[in-house]
A = this chain, B = another copy of it.
Amino acid sequence: MFRKIIDFCSKNGFLKVVEYSSLNVFELKIGPPGALLQENLRREWLDNLVHSKDICVFYNYNDFKHCYDYARSLMFQTVPIGIVEILPSKKQSFIDVEKINICGTDEKTNNFADYFMNDYRLIYTMFVAPSMANQFFHQIQRQRKIWWRKISASPGRYSLSDIQNGNNLADSQYSVNIESKYTWGNHILETISLFSKNHTGLCNADLMVKDGKKQVPAVYIKCETRLSNLLLNSLCDAYEEPVIQSEKRPLFRFHRKVAPYKISFSATLPKSELLDELQDLTTYLSKLLRNNNITTLLIAENVKKTLEAQYRQYDELGIPYTVVLNEATLRDGIAWLRNRDTTLKEQVHVADLVSYVEKIYKHF
């Protein structure tokens, strides 16, 4: 099943599969709609943390200590303080066959990031007073699980592993994984660990913060995932095979907030003399939507395909809504908005289209 999804991703341009048949492994590269999806997931991850309700979060670009010192001084040595980072990470080799080829192994948990060579580590570190450590550790577990569920097509898939006593090497006291469950096994998506000392790059004096009137050494909680994890989990999570007219029609049910394209266009027209006019209208509507930061897919030549073939293509790209236009639209301005998930169409006047679509995407 996993390999079937990968091939479907490949067919629709989300991924490119590079086979190393002699090693019985494959590497994944990212195609254009996959890149848009990944960009949307990256922004959701970052915004969710930067706009964190309760604590001030700072964005570290390339100097952790500088970022921490800045945050600590700005906040008058009070905690909690959060730091987000997106760090490039390149795999050194690609030869660990056992690990990479999950289809057919009996291991309980796997990691989506194993299939990608160039990747980014997404890290959120929260410094808290020792007296608050347990409270924040449990709160962040809940918050991160909610985040994974929020952008998912099957929220029930996500769960927290048992709390493990940390390994001594990394000096973490406790750690927990967020996992997603698939028919072929569980995948580890994110690891959340509580550390009580020895932050790489910070000395113990750096960690001193105010807790009420006292000075105490801060402890920290680290949530780490990978950009490729977000991407490949999102693809597997959204994959479905609904039966339409007694035929399996695989598609992606991306959450509308992260879907690579928000709106596509279908036009059909029997009389060719009105074709130019209809295409002008379609182009105009697409421009209006793009002006409002709504990503559209507009393929002028698709008018030659049947409506069914167009819908199928858009469903396979996981586009949540398609604007359907025809001859009548030129006469009275009525278009239809087709919903990917229900396959139902509702009427909407072209004059109201942009504000209606904006409303759909704003309240998600």
Contacts and interface: CB of A to CB of B under 8 A. Distances in A.
Interface of A: 13, 16, 29-32, 34-36, 38-39, 43, 46-47, 50-54, 56, 58-63, 66-67, 70-71, 74-76, 78, 88, 118, 287, 290-291, 293-295, 297-301
Nearest to A46: B39
B39 A299 contact: no
Contact of A31 (B31, B38, B70, B299): B70
Contacts of A118: 62
Given A50-B36, A50-B295, A51-B293, A62 B29 contact: yes
A56 B301 contact: no
Contact of A88 (B43, B54, B88, B301): B88
Contacts of A56: 297-299
27 contacts: A13-B70, A16-B63, A16-B66, A29-B61, A29-B63, A31-B61, A31-B66, A31-B67, A32-B58, A32-B70, A35-B67, A36-B50, A36-B59, A38-B61, A39-B59, A43-B43, A51-B290, A51-B291, A51-B293, A53-B287, A53-B290, A53-B291, A56-B297, A62-B118, A76-B299, A76-B301, A78-B301
Contacts of A50: 36, 295
A35 B50 CA distance: 12
The count of identical subunits is 2
Contacts of A16: 63, 66
A67 B35 CA distance: 10
B76 A61 contact: no
Contacts of A46: 39
Contacts of A76: 299, 301
